[in-house]
Amino acid sequence: MQDFDAVILGAGAAGLMCALRAGQRGRRVLVLDHAREAGAKILISGGGRCNFTNTGTVPERFFSNNPHFAKSALRRYTPADFLALVEKHRIAWHEKTLGQLFCDGSARQIVAMLLAECAAAGVEVRLGHRVTDVSRADRFRVDTDRGAFAAPALVLATGGLSIPKMGATGLSLDIACRFGLPLTETRPALVPLTFAEEMLALMRPLSGVALPAVARIGKLAFPEAVLFTHRGLSGPAVLQISSAWREGGEIRLDLLPGRDADAALLAAKRARPRAEPRTALAELLPQRLAQALAAAQLPDRILAEQTDKDLRRLGAMLGDWRLTPSGTEGYAKAEVMLGGVDTAALSSQTLGAKAVPGLHVVGEAVDVTGWLGGYNFQWAWASGWCAGGAL
Ligand code: FDA
């Protein structure tokens, strides 16, 4: 059996950040991962360019049963701190939109940076290890198919359940449970929404159509793009709102943000009475969508023969389209998992389990889930950094 000061399960965003900080503090650290490559989700993130943080990071942009929990870690390790590391490694970056920072080149540079920092700090990263058992006597013991390892500290950093075909597992949740830590409900988030056949008959032929919109549930509103798919709706605005959606509930879409749709339709009726409604609508919306909505919502007549009431009804719908999804595309398509280890069981300073000294949980396995746009990596860096500082 080999001894370390800390064993970290998961060589992803949070695990590597935790490891490099603990290594820099002189700890003997082992990172174990079952994958052949470290940081697999970093590599595919942001379309291969890794949206590695968001300059607008504030605790309000995270979902958690305890909205205050993330404050401490996010304050102690900020987007500017991660950017300083990126710049130290001379990785070129740019701001795309809404504070989202991406690599100019490749997400591979971020993984290489983390591994270089780990190597410089003497961290051992062992890939291709299948964890077969975890137990605790005077120390934690991790059994794998390639040997056993022991340490007084164990960090659960194996992430969430999204994209199982990339090797995502519930290992951290299982181990947390075994040590008596409570979990909150977990569900796919930042995920496309699906619709039942009646609505799909309208949406499916629109697959590929995208437009700027606002997606809303209650007071939460995301002004970003909406994309029609062959199963329903996707695009950043819908992915964002999916994190707040629950079965049976509705989402609301404003397809004409900042415009008064009924006024525009009534004005078109006065100005061009002989025009088809779809022609007038096509000045406001993508053509295929205009055509489909005109056909579904209005009688097949020229504008002059439409009643003002019908035009107002269509206008109201365009500004506040209330839709009830039938479900989501699930973990296979979800960018993240909502929920995880209940923050009530963890210290917000160290991410350590209050009742199990030496056990820490970081990253997506914790019940802290960010908006789309670099927030989830910022949580992974911040939580990993804080735990690494406590090992
Ligand atoms: P992460 O998933 O990074 O790491 C977990 C590690 O544990 C992996 O290396 C895995 O192999 C290992 N592991 C899992 N089970 C194991 C087991 N049983 N035994 C051993 N090892 C095990 N976020 C963001 O902020 N900006 C972005 O651009 C994107 N883009 C993006 C795209 C796509 C397609 C996805 C799926 C996700 C994103 N995300 C994102 C989300 C982001 O990738 C995610 O929130 C973080 O990677 C979470 O970091 P963790 O370290 O917690 O888990």
pLDDT in tens, 29-61: 999 999 999 999 999 999 999 999 999 999 999
CB 373 within 8 A of CB 51: yes
CA–CA separation, 279 vs 269, rounded Å?
11
CB 174 within 8 A of CB 158: no
CB atoms within 10 A of CB 106: 14
Annotation: CATH topology of 2-187+337-388? FAD/NAD(P)-binding domain (3.50.50)
Mean pLDDT of 3-28: 98
Q: How far is the CA of 15 from the centre of ligand 1 (A)?
A: 10
How open is the CA angle 6-165-376, to the nearest 5 degrees? Answer: 55
pLDDT value at position 256?
96
DSSP string, 40-67: HHHHHGGGGT-EEEETT--GGGEE-SST
ipTM of the complex: 0.99
List pLDDT tens digits, range 125-158: 999 999 999 999 999 999 999 999 999 999 999 9
For residue 131, the ligand 1 atom closest to its alpha carbon is 19
Superfamily of 192-329 according to CATH: Translation factors (2.40.30.10)
Domain with CATH 3.50.50.60 in the chain: 2-187+337-388
Q: Tokens 């911040």 belong to which residue?
A: 382
Beta bridge pairs of residue 26 = none
The answer, as to whether pTM is greater than 0.90, is yes
Give the pair of three-digit tokens for residue 256.
């004409």
**From residue 79, how far is each of 75, 217, 328 by CA, in Å?**
9, 28, 31
Q: How far is the CA of 22 from the centre of ligand 1 (A)?
A: 20
Q: At what angle do helices 308-319 and 261-271 cross, to 10 degrees?
A: 140
Do the strands 29-32 and 6-9 form a parallel or antiparallel pair, or are they unpaired? parallel
Residue ID of nearest Cα to ligand 1 atom 25: 374
pLDDT band at 326 (very low <50, low <70, confident <90, very high): very high
First to last CA, the chain: 20
List pLDDT tens digits, range 63-113: 999 999 999 999 999 999 999 999 999 999 999 999 999 999 999 999 999
Q: Which residues contact 62 (CB under 8 A, 6 or more apart)?
A: 70, 368, 369, 370, 371, 375, 379
Residue 148 one-letter amino acid? A
Q: How far is the CA of 201 from the centre of ligand 1 (A)?
A: 35
List pLDDT tens digits, range 198-220: 999 999 999 999 999 999 999 99
Q: Which residues contact 374 (CB under 8 A, 6 or more apart)?
A: 46, 51, 52, 53, 54, 57, 79, 99, 100, 101
Top mutation candidate among 17, 21, 41 for ligand 1, by most atoms within 8 Å of CB: 41
What residue ranges line ligand 1, CB within 6 angstroms? 9-15, 33-35, 40-41, 44-46, 50-51, 131, 157-159, 162-163, 167-169, 171, 335-336, 363-365, 374-377, 380
For residue 54, the ligand 1 atom closest to its alpha carbon is 25
List pLDDT tens digits, range 331-384: 999 999 999 999 999 999 999 999 999 999 999 999 999 999 999 999 999 999
Top mutation candidate among 110, 165, 376 for ligand 1, by most atoms within 8 Å of CB: 376
Nearest to 123 by CA among 151, 89, 103, 142: 151
Domain with CATH 2.40.30.10 in the chain: 192-329
pLDDT value at position 317?
96
CA–CA separation, 359 vs 6, rounded Å?
10
Give the pair of three-digit tokens for residue 389.
């500082």
CB 211 within 8 A of CB 162: no
pLDDT band at 197 (very low <50, low <70, confident <90, very high): very high
Residue ID of nearest Cα to ligand 1 atom 53: 159
Nearest to 261 by CA among 322, 319, 306: 319
Q: How far is the CA of 12 from the centre of ligand 1 (A)?
A: 6
Nearest to 136 by CA among 341, 356, 390: 356
**From residue 38, how far is each of 108, 233, 346 by CA, in Å?**
10, 32, 26
Residue ID of nearest Cα to ligand 1 atom 26: 374
Beta bridge pairs of residue 8 = 31, 155
Q: How far is the CA of 258 from the centre of ligand 1 (A)?
A: 37
Q: Is the dihedral of CA 85, 117, 172, 360 positive or negative?
A: negative
pLDDT value at position 223?
97
